[in-house]
Amino acid sequence: MQFEPYDIVVVGGGHAGAEAAAAAARMGCRTLLVTQMLDTICQMSCNPAMGGVAKGQIVREVDALGGWSGIVTDRSALQFRMLNRSKGPAMWSPRAQCDRMLFSQHWRQVLESIPNLALWQDEVTALGVDGGAVSAVRTRMGHTIPARAVVLTSGTFLNGTIYIGTDSWRGGRVGEAPALGLSDQLRDLGFEVQRLKTGTPVRVDGRTIDFSRLQEQPGDEQPAKFSFADTGPLREQRSCFLANTNLRTHDILRTGFAQSPMFTGRIQGRGPRYCPSIEDKIDRFADKDHHQLFVEPEGWHSQSWYLNGFSSSLPIEVQLEALHSIDGFEQARIFKPGYAIEYDYFPPTQLGYTLETKRVENLYFAGQVNGTTGYEEAACQGLMAGVNAALKLQGRAPFVLSRSQAYIGVLIDDLVTKGVDEPYRMFTSRAEYRILLRQDNADQRLTPLAHAIGLAGDDRMRRVEAKQRQQDDLAALVQSTPVVPSEANEWLAAQGSAPLNQRVPLATLLLRPELTLVQLGQLAPTVAAAMAALPPEVVQEVETAIKYRRYIEKEQEVASRILKFEDVPLPTDYDYFPLPALSYECREKLNRYHPSTLGQASRISGVSPADVSVLMIAFAR
């Protein structure tokens, strides 16, 4: 079979690969997605859910940019919950439980519907590199496919090894072969290659679980959705459940420690700190008498349940005995045991902000090959790599998001500036501009940027403009509607709120933390009527904008002040050792990472504020 040249070849069909291929093709590049198994495109290898704390913000940002993860999530959702409702709006994070099979099926349909995108089932074993730039991919079937750019998104498959107790074998997932050859070639090309570890829990047969002994966790009464597009509301939901381990569970698990690949040192790669295995948890937190488990359905018509929090690589018999000690699981059967997987990744300090590698031109890395964990983190990297590969081939300026523009900007800056020594997971605490980067305003922040480069369509842009007009009109009405003491004080007393001494705008009352805009509609029928005609999210955004206006303005001021120096360029081939005013550690780090901007340099561990001042004097002119 003779392949025509492609503009972009995407290697890997996971969440990063799918978003990369879709973005590149929709931006006009002739694109090919090569994956080992077309039937498992975007398979949810771990928990069947999208979103969560900070991760939900990323999915909304991907959607606002014109990606597909939010739409596919809405089409396959089993349950929707907005997490952290008890905290401020900056912390609210959407999460959806998904039908695992429907999710993969919908993604396959999306990819097959994009005109410039072709799919090919095969394994890429090597890259063609000519003159320091990628030129082709070579496959297990013996094909050489010419490509002007390549996006590598191989996930956990690169030299993957699976562990269960004392048993181990090569694999990317249970039942699937690893990807061999690429790591060795890239090491020969000068790339640093290291190992990480992740894991997954048992899948339990729901017919053998006594759900009456578990705590039910239903979805939101009025479920929202992920996509800003018109995907429609979720009309039916499935509940999740909560369970707990106990001291007997922990004692049983400890009997397997001598056969644990993690404790015996057979696994060298570091696992995710914030999603540890159950054996790691009971070892690290020996004083705890229980650990909470989340029992999550895997589909509308499936009896498979995911036991979130029970990830393990202990021997199967130990996993099963420990499972039977948990209330409600005494008679449980499993479909699949838990296991650990160790795989190769490339420390992401070897990348630029576009996710293009520094060593090989037009080669991009995205997803777990960069040391991240999570579908959401992978999806946003894939989108940005696909976009930037397309823009570079078209001779256009790169598309880079700053830390004050998006969680995606925070993630990529963290990766390329600080690197990783454990699987990277996004948290709200990583973002210094959380009030600006709320999940509800992702479309207003990012859709105009995506529309300008041709990724987000005109319909998306019209929806954002219409939403902005609605918010502006309602905000103006709230600001201009007066409230007088004689009409409001009795109502305010009933709400436990202080009385008024003088006439004030309704917006002033909204600054009180105990009052909401919907409640205040009882004092202002005109405002109540206007809100009734608007989507609830528009009302909520107006309330947030008014309540947190001073905080928002303060964050914007800080971001603007820092931005003055953020983009000061630094030479990427400069030798910093002859600059004695810099500390030795700073010179060592700068020569190792070669940051492209002063802002990037300032976030490298070991570069002090005094060093930044020296760099500013030396290069700001």
Residues 154 and 57 in one domain: yes
Residues 443 and 365 in one domain: yes
The answer to whether residue 264 sits within a structural domain is yes
- pLDDT value for 452: 97
- The CATH number assigned to the domain holding 29 equals 3.50.50.60
Angle of helix 100-112 relative to helix 15-26, nearest 10 degrees, comes to 20
* Cα–Cα distance measured from residue 127 to residue 146, given in angstroms and rounded to the nearest whole number: 10
Residues 394 and 486 in one domain: no
- pLDDT value for 55: 97
Residues 446 and 498 in one domain: no
* Cα–Cα distance measured from residue 518 to residue 354, given in angstroms and rounded to the nearest whole number: 43
* Cross-strand partners of 169: 162
Confidence of residue 566 (pLDDT cuts 50, 70, 90): confident
- Tell me the mean pLDDT in the region 61-86: 97
The closest of 294, 302, 372 to 326, measured between CA atoms, is 294
CA 171 to chain centre: 24
- The CATH number assigned to the domain holding 323 equals 2.40.30.260
The answer to whether residue 562 sits within a structural domain is no
Confidence of residue 569 (pLDDT cuts 50, 70, 90): confident
Element (H, E) at 541: helix 536-547
The answer to whether residue 1 sits within a structural domain is no
pLDDT in tens, 462-472: 999 999 999 99
CB 394 within 8 A of CB 28: yes
CB 310 within 8 A of CB 338: yes
Residues 362 and 480 in one domain: no
The answer to whether residue 557 sits within a structural domain is no
Q: Which domain holds residue 546?
A: 458-551
Residue finishing a domain among 502, 523, 551: 551
Residue finishing a domain among 432, 453, 474: 453
The closest of 373, 303, 368, 374 to 336, measured between CA atoms, is 303
Q: What DSSP letter does each residue of 333-344 carry, written as one string?
A: -EEE--EEEEEE
pLDDT in tens, 90-125: 999 999 999 999 999 999 999 999 999 999 999 999
CA 337 to chain centre: 26
For residue 356, the SS3 value is strand
- pLDDT value for 105: 97
pLDDT in tens, 380-404: 999 999 999 999 999 999 999 999 9
Name the domain count of the chain.
Answer: 4
Residues 60 and 144 in one domain: yes
The answer to whether residue 447 sits within a structural domain is yes
* Cα–Cα distance measured from residue 368 to residue 49, given in angstroms and rounded to the nearest whole number: 17
Residues 209 and 290 in one domain: yes
Residues 576 and 521 in one domain: no
In this structure, the strands spanning 31-35 and 6-11 are parallel
- Token code pair at residue 165: 């107790």
Phi, psi for residue 57 in degrees, rounded to 5: -60, -40
- Tell me the mean pLDDT in the region 208-233: 95
Residues 267 and 302 in one domain: yes
Half-sphere exposure of 105 (CA within 13 A, CB side): 9
**Length of the chain counted residue by residue:** 621
Residue finishing a domain among 280, 311, 340: 340
The answer to whether residue 129 sits within a structural domain is yes
The answer to whether residue 558 sits within a structural domain is no
Q: What DSSP letter does each residue of 542-610 carry, written as one string?
A: HHHHHHTHHHHHHHHHHHHHHHHHHT-B--TT---TT-TTS-HHHHHHHHHH--SBHHHHHTSTT--HH
- The CATH number assigned to the domain holding 594 equals 1.10.150.570
- pLDDT value for 174: 85
- pLDDT value for 446: 98
Confidence of residue 268 (pLDDT cuts 50, 70, 90): confident
Please give the C-alpha separations between residue 382 and each of 150, 153, 160, 294, 418, in angstroms, as whole numbers: 12, 8, 21, 29, 20
Terminal Cα distance for the chain, rounded: 56
Confidence of residue 621 (pLDDT cuts 50, 70, 90): low
pTM for this prediction = 0.92
pLDDT in tens, 580-610: 888 888 898 898 888 888 888 888 877 887 8
Residues 168 and 207 in one domain: no
Residues 100 and 163 in one domain: yes
Residues 35 and 158 in one domain: yes
- Torsion angle defined by CA atoms of residues 122, 127, 130 and 136, in that order, rounded to the nearest 10 degrees: 20
The answer to whether residue 559 sits within a structural domain is no
Element (H, E) at 401: none
